[in-house]
Amino acid sequence: MKKKLLAVLFGSALVLGACGGNDEGAEEPADNGGDTGTEESAGGDVDAAAAEKAYKQSCASCHGADLSGGAGPSLKDVGSKYSKDEIADIIKNGKGSMPKGQATGDDVDLIASWLATQK
């Protein structure tokens, strides 16, 4: 019984430890057939390819590579719930069980701008 409990706790620690991990070996976004990779948002152009790369390095381990969720909630329609500034604030300061500082510097604004277009 103790071994099973220890295994569950260890497995949980591994899953939670993966959140925010640097995924340097992540695959590059696929070529999208000539699309420039920019999306129009209320704040201007978003370099979707760069944003997806930053997202995969900082967020995908918890929120899923396809935004579908996992250890963290789905972000598929996060842009309909939060503005770019609100998303950036969550990335910087955390919310609920999400720790602060999962992305830093320019990546915060890049990811927030891209996620704001997900509606």
Distance, CA of 95 to CA of 90 (rounded, Å): 6
Q: Is residue 55 part of a domain?
A: yes
Question: pTM to 2 decimals?
Answer: 0.64
| Residue 119 resides in a domain | yes
CB atoms within 10 A of CB 45: 12
Instruction: Kindly state whether residue 2 falls inside one of the protein's structural domains.
Output: no
> Does residue 7 form part of some domain?
no
Count the domains in the chain.
1
| 101 Ramachandran zone, left/alpha/beta (phi>0; psi -120 to 50) | left
Residue 69 lies in a domain: yes
Domain hosting residue 103, numbered range: 38-119
Q: Tell me, yes or no, whether 4 lies in a domain.
A: no
pLDDT digits (tens, 9 = 90+) for 20-69: 544 444 444 444 444 444 444 444 578 999 999 999 999 999 999 999 99
In a domain, 30, yes or no: no
CATH number at residue 86: 1.10.760.10
Whether 87 is covered by a domain: the verdict is: yes
State what percent of residues in the chain have pLDDT above 90: 60
